[in-house]
Structure 1
Amino acid sequence: MNKVRALFCLQFTGVLFGVDLVNVSGTVKDPAGTPLPGSNVMILGTT
């Protein structure tokens, strides 16, 4: 019974963590308008 309960819980783990996934796309540019390759972006207010 414990194995069934564990499998049931693990089955929905991906669903719980996948709820907040959002794709963000765009181009990071410097003040002159030149694209910056290899840039990293951090969105404030997220964990």
Structure 2
Amino acid sequence: MPDLTELLITIAPFIAIGMAAQMIDGALGMAFGVITQTLLVSALG
């Protein structure tokens, strides 16, 4: 059975990259919604 510390050291970069990707994806998703809403309101009057 592998040591827990060794396992966490192996998995930690994947967890960090996943968290960063989720933050970027969430920020882009919110920005996309605001931009789309603004364009629709301005286009439809």
- Relative to the length of structure 2, the TM-score reads 0.39
Higher relative contact order, chain-length normalized (CA < 8 Å, sep 6+): 1
Higher helix share: 2
